[in-house]
């Protein structure tokens, strides 16, 4: 079966712009969670969506938002980009979600560079 | 606040050696712990998931143990191979109603032929 697909894989933006990243989960998976990975902070949980509802979110400012569609595809948006938002953004899908204690399948990530 | 620490940060071993990677966490009220590997520039691959009620899980040459009371987990890799070279991360799922997945910063493993 197809894996988790993230688009775009690479993108460059300038400060103040906004960006939208997409994640298509494995067919049948209803949970999509998002993570930010930087050399300094490591991997940090952003939020999780399950059946179009945000279940939980990490400690990120309101500039970071997301949504999930009826086909389980998810998007995350970062507005008013800052240099510190440069990172690898990863999404993961799972059948039952983080609280269901099941294996997470990660996408290859979207690498965002903010100039 | 849950904090996850992985030691060592980097490890270099000759091929064939058995090795242990360590993961410690500060809040023992966890639901589960997962070990992942990450190859350069790529996403994470799940290796093993240990439920809070379990003591260990095995998959092939990998064995992960969990000691909740001491806040520790180990990943044992037997007969290491160059293809095992990657960054290994552990992640703890905890937090009650405000749950989240907390990752360690990883151990960079290099297996030399």
Output the DSSP codes for B9-37: SEEEEETT--EEEEEEES---EEEEEEEE
The pLDDT of residue B37: 97
The pLDDT of residue A109: 95
Task: Kindly give the parts of chain A with pLDDT less than 70.
Answer: 1, 101
The pLDDT of residue B42: 83
Nearest CA in chain B to A4: B43
The pLDDT of residue B103: 94
Q: What is the pLDDT of residues B83-103, one digit of tens each?
A: 999 999 999 988 777 778 899
Distance from CA of B3 to the nearest CA of A (A): 11
Q: What is the signed CA dihedral for B92, B94, B100, B102, rounded to 10 degrees?
A: -30
B29 confidence band (pLDDT: 50, 70, 90): confident
Q: Which of residues 40-69 of A touch B (CB under 8 A)?
A: 42-45, 56, 58
Nearest CA in chain B to A59: B100
B65 confidence band (pLDDT: 50, 70, 90): very high
The pLDDT of residue A56: 87
What is the DSSP secondary structure assignment for residue B78, as one 8-state letter? -
Cross-chain residue pair A43–B89, CB shorter than 8 Å = yes
The pLDDT of residue A1: 61
The pLDDT of residue B41: 80
The pLDDT of residue B95: 75
Cross-chain residue pair B91–A108, CB shorter than 8 Å = no
Contact A35/A45 with Cβ under 8 angstroms?
yes
- How far apart are the C-alpha atoms of A7 and B68, rounded to whole Å? 38
Beta bridge partners of A91: A34
- How far apart are the C-alpha atoms of A61 and A17, rounded to whole Å? 16
Cross-chain residue pair B34–A104, CB shorter than 8 Å = yes
**For range B63-78, the mean pLDDT:** 96
Beta bridge partners of A68: A74
B4 confidence band (pLDDT: 50, 70, 90): very high
Indicate the range of B3-7, B38-42, B109-113 predicted with least confidence.
B38-42
**For range B10-38, the mean pLDDT:** 95
Residues B15-29 as b/e (b if ≥16 CB within 10 A, e otherwise) read: eeeebebebbbeeee
């Amino acid at each position: 079966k197809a894996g988790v697909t993230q688009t775009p894989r690479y993108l460059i933006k300038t400060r103040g712009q906004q960006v939208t990243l997409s994640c298509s989960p494995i067919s049948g998976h209803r949970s999509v969670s998002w993570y930010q990975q930087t050399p300094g902070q490591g991997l940090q949980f952003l939020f999780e969506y399950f059946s179009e509802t945000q279940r939980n979110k990490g400690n990120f400012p309101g500039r970071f938002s997301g949504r999930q569609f009826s086909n389980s595809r998810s998007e995350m948006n970062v507005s008013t980009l800052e240099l510190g938002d440069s990172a690898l953004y990863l999404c993961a899908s799972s059948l039952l979600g983080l609280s269901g204690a099941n294996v997470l399948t990660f996408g290859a990530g979207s690498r965002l560079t903010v100039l | 606040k849950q904090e996850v620490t992985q030691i060592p940060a980097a490890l270099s071993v000759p091929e064939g050696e058995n090795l242990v990677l360590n993961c410690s966490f500060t809040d023992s009220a966890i639901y589960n712990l997962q070990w992942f590997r990450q190859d350069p520039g790529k996403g994470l691959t799940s290796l093993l998931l240990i439920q809070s009620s379990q003591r260990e899980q095995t998959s092939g040459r990998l064995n992960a143990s969990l000691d909740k009371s001491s806040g520790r987990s180990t990943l044992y890799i037997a007969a290491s191979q160059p293809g095992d070279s990657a960054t290994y991360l552990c992640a703890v799922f905890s937090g009650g109603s405000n749950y989240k997945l907390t990752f360690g910063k990883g151990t960079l493993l290099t297996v030399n032929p």
